[in-house]
A and B are shown apart, each in its own frame.
Chain A
Amino acid sequence: ETGVTQSPTHLIKTRGQQVTLRCSSQSGHNTVSWYQQALGQGPQFIFQYYREEENGRGNFPPRFSGLQFPNYSSELNVNALELDDSALYLCASSSWDRGYNEQFFGPGTRLTVL
């Protein structure tokens, strides 16, 4: 069983640019959640996708957007990057259809905004 994978591992952008982060969910999972983890902080919920629809959103501005594809992989897009967007971005996959819905986390993408 393949776990949750994320790409890229690291990337560096400058203020004002746009970035796309990718997440492949674990086999059999239909739900992906995205979290932002700033340095020295706990992860903060950005949003969740279930069967290609947004299923909850945290306190993040609209320039944070996402997509989920028919194969349940997902993208996180951030427009007009700001310095404070520098963080580790984690995705987690789970399955709403199978009783207890443990979220399995990927290794994250480290984004640095200069």
Chain B
Amino acid sequence: AQSVTQLDSQVPVFEEAPVELRCNYSSSVSVYLFWYVQYPNQGLQLLLKYLSGSTLVKGINGFEAEFNKSQTSFHLRKPSVHISDTAEYFCAVSMNQGGKLIFGQGTELSVKP
């Protein structure tokens, strides 16, 4: 069975600082990896995805993530955050491209001025 662990429940950071949100997964088979963002009182929006190929994936809003198979990690990074990046971020895995998503517990990113 697959599982996802987001190592930090809350990450406070100052505006324009870099940030990394950590995600580890467990699976006995190959998986697809995703990061979603959820703003208050909204649904989930896809930030980026890893399906195959290059292990460095670039997404929207300046975010990127690196797939590390040996460490079973898929950490999300942004070199300089904005106040508007304040939101909940979810890492997710799926065994196929359209099937069920298994989510981590979420990381609350709080960007302070």
Name A residues whose Cβ lies closer than 8 Å to a Cβ of B. 4, 31, 33, 35, 40-45, 48, 56, 58, 90, 92, 94-96, 100-103, 105-108
Contacts and interface: CB of A to CB of B under 8 A. Distances in A.
B105 A41 contact: yes
25 contacts: A31-B98, A33-B101, A35-B103, A40-B105, A40-B106, A41-B105, A41-B106, A42-B103, A42-B104, A42-B106, A43-B103, A44-B103, A45-B100, A56-B99, A92-B44, A94-B98, A95-B98, A100-B51, A100-B97, A101-B98, A103-B101, A105-B43, A106-B43, A107-B42, A108-B42
A58 B100 contact: yes
Contacts, number: 55
B102 to A, nearest CB: 7
B interface bracket (residues with beta carbon within 8 Å of A) = 20 to 34
B46 interface: yes
B90 interface: yes
